[in-house]
A and B are shown apart, each in its own frame.
Chain A
């Protein structure tokens, strides 16, 4: 089916008039799924060239090394939107043009996406960094109890940690009862203790594919920092791989999308953003083959199958959101200190 759609898209492009527009987008891997992209290209005749990146630093470097106008659309970590807005990289989005009113209110993140009343980006996808686990091999009650249960000798060597310092530091902060948005350097010693204790228990620290592989192959039974993005795509084949939000809470991740200020095709770029946040686009993005996540637009629920909604825990979001905090958004100095702490933990 994927191949057919991709082929159809290629044929449609071949038949498109020579004046068909092309936009260039810096994205995360979920946007590269043909199931997500082809319907937009078929419907609009706009061709989207995608460039995947990992880490905001890499995106900023790519933008800096490119000529102005080379890029039209940017997908970025929700907490880094202020960073690119301050750098003057983002174009204002037309007020009232996007269905932000239909979004889950908790993930609109107006404080990040707007400046002086002007919106520069919108949340397009979100989810949790929490605990993913193999329900056939661990007691779900332990997972509900949170990080404390994982420090038990029983879990030694059965844990993987997701290799991204901000969400896992956020989880440690949540475990300590701290507010993730007001963390300071004074909180780091306590967080350090939690991280180091988890490290002692863990078999590995890995990025997305490594964490998924570790859980799917039985190398570990729990992934700290996992969530729907880690296990939802595997649920059809391995329904025992699941996730939960512990009673103590978890952290939220978000990703945002916007049009770059130097875009040569701002109208086409905006058209793409409109598609991404439309209910149909949101449903496809939420279930992208690269990784799943919750759509920002609640109306996407109507375009998801029962199985997809179940894997995303659609009906439990109210309770989950109530227990989740955004993952930390440190300033440069605290960010550096957190990264050093993370490296120190890895190197133990």
Chain B
């Protein structure tokens, strides 16, 4: 058997898998996004009506809301995860680091839906946060925390901080300790060492985690649906509404492709500026 044939043989399973479960469904979805509903009947063809729906204020707003929430969550999660990962990597004794990472992963062990409803109870007007605020005399009346963007962001950050901690921790652990020592020998302060040595070298880990956060967050339906109280809709929520009763698959497909386009854009920006492809 030639090398070429052996190469094809090795790559064939992955190729078939990708074709069957990504390329074909993607092609169907793309074709569906150009179809339209006539009453309840699906009309195949090339119609741009579904994409024109993006101009509708409530759909355009959903795109903006999705981006705002996703970017907020990504930034906050990075800011929280980096120190946590650094503490685990540099301050926690090596024999306890595995346990620390295990504890960091604990939120992943709970069902996503259960976790979101738990946050709803925690943030409710009679929940533990409001009880604490009232008990400490910080507020006189319970404040509205549940069913807000704050609740959605809190639920997301709880989850994604842990994810980012893992990717950043991996980057920090790969850093040879001599780099920091060399910088110190050359008279660099701790801050200067961090900004000019450690941070640039751990950027791939940050960006990997941030990109994963972006992808998972912008496509998530459950958290904003449960915690946001439908007070503003994200793009996945608008897509679900199309599918729920009317079965408007053409419009849902078009919106799903727009969502995919946003993810692709995020990937392009990340890979171009921060060389995510080399991580």
Give the residues in chain B near A163, CB-CB below 8 Å.
Answer: 230
Verify B147–A344 contact, CB threshold 8 A. Answer: no
Lowest 3 CB-CB distances: which A-B pairs, in order? A204-B229, A57-B247, A55-B244
Question: Shortest beta-carbon distance, A78 to chain B, in Å?
Answer: 13
A344 nearest in chain B by CB position: B58
Q: Which of A55, A83, A214, A219 contacts B40 (CB 8 A)?
A: A83
B247 nearest in chain A by CB position: A57
Q: Is A18 an interface residue (CB 8 A)?
A: no
Verify B246–A57 contact, CB threshold 8 A. Answer: yes
Verify A205–B247 contact, CB threshold 8 A. Answer: no
Give the residues in chain B near A203, CB-CB below 8 Å.
Answer: 144, 147, 229
Q: Give 16 A-B contacts (CB < 8 Å), ordered by A residue.
A: A56-B245, A60-B247, A166-B245, A204-B231, A206-B147, A210-B226, A213-B121, A213-B124, A217-B121, A218-B125, A219-B147, A335-B245, A339-B245, A346-B230, A346-B231, A347-B62
A residues with a Cβ closer than 8 A to B are 54-58, 60-61, 77, 83, 157, 160, 163, 166, 203-207, 209-210, 213-214, 217-219, 331-333, 335-336, 339-340, 342-344, 346-347
Q: Is B126 an interface residue (CB 8 A)?
A: yes
Give the residues in chain B near A333, CB-CB below 8 Å.
Answer: 39
Q: Which of A60, A61, A205, A218 contacts B126 (CB 8 A)?
A: A218
Give the residues in chain A near B169, CB-CB below 8 Å.
Answer: none
A57-B244 contact given A204-B230, A217-B125, A219-B146, CB 8 Å threshold: yes
B residues with a Cβ closer than 8 A to A are 37, 39-40, 56-59, 61-62, 117, 120-121, 124-127, 144, 146-147, 225-226, 229-233, 238, 241, 243-249
B142 nearest in chain A by CB position: A218
Specify the main secondary structure of chain B where it touches its partner: loop
C-alpha spacing A214/B125, complex, angstroms: 10
Verify B243–A206 contact, CB threshold 8 A. Answer: no
Specify the main secondary structure of chain A where it touches its partner: helix
Question: Shortest beta-carbon distance, B128 to chain A, in Å?
Answer: 12
Verify B229–A347 contact, CB threshold 8 A. Answer: no
Verify B244–A58 contact, CB threshold 8 A. Answer: yes
A339-B241 contact given A57-B247, A213-B121, A217-B121, CB 8 Å threshold: yes
A57-B124 contact given A340-B56, A343-B238, A347-B62, CB 8 Å threshold: no
Question: Shortest beta-carbon distance, A328 to chain B, in Å?
Answer: 12
Question: Shortest beta-carbon distance, B99 to chain A, in Å?
Answer: 34
Verify A347–B244 contact, CB threshold 8 A. Answer: no
Verify A332–B37 contact, CB threshold 8 A. Answer: yes
C-alpha spacing A342/B240, complex, angstroms: 13
B37 nearest in chain A by CB position: A332
A332-B39 contact given A58-B244, A203-B144, A219-B124, CB 8 Å threshold: yes
Verify B121–A54 contact, CB threshold 8 A. Answer: no
Question: Shortest beta-carbon distance, B241 to chain A, in Å?
Answer: 6
Give the residues in chain A near B59, CB-CB below 8 Å.
Answer: 343
Question: Shortest beta-carbon distance, A204 to chain B, in Å?
Answer: 3
A217-B127 contact given A204-B229, A332-B40, CB 8 Å threshold: yes
Give the residues in chain A near B121, CB-CB below 8 Å.
Answer: 213, 217
Q: Which of A204, A335, A339 contacts B147 (CB 8 A)?
A: A204
